Homo-oligomer: A and B are copies of this chain.
Amino acid sequence: MSKQDLVVLGQDGAEGCCPGLLTAPLDEAQSVELAKVFKALGDPIRLRLLSMIASRAGGEVCVCDLTPAFELSQPTISHHLKLLRQAGLIDCERRGTWVYYWLLPEMTDRLAGILTRPAGEPRPDRTTTTDVS
């Protein structure tokens, strides 16, 4: 149940540090992979689930603590958790009768990096239109 079909999202990590999204045009394959992760974040229920999981002291949460926090059926919550897991944002483990989820910070770190523009960016202020070429 653990490493089922986690999104790949490029094994860069090696070649420097993340192409960036804000620094160079994304190619088609990259954009498809990245979009899967952002799509997983593009739902209020999943965002709340993720934040509940991520902010939990101890690092993990039992599903039985998540489900009653929403006015949704148990299958629906289970489905959302599955999507977050398939996006590589969380992982889970069964312990006895209960299933525990935890954050995979590698993925949120990667996203944060992708959305961060290079430090020295000369602020494309507009109105100053650098007019390159």
Contact = CB atoms under 8 A, between A and B. Distances in A.
Q: Give the residue among A31, A46, A51, A55 with the most B Cβ atoms within 10 A.
A: A51
Contact of A24 (B31, B32, B43, B55): B55
Contacts of A55: 20, 22-25
Interface string A98-133: 000011010011011101110001011110011111
Count class of interface residues, chain A: 35 or more
A128 to B, nearest CB: 9
A66 to B, nearest CB: 10
A58 interface: yes
A115 B124 contact: no
Given A59-B129, A111-B115, A112-B112, A41 B48 contact: no
A41 B47 contact: no
Nearest to A121: B105
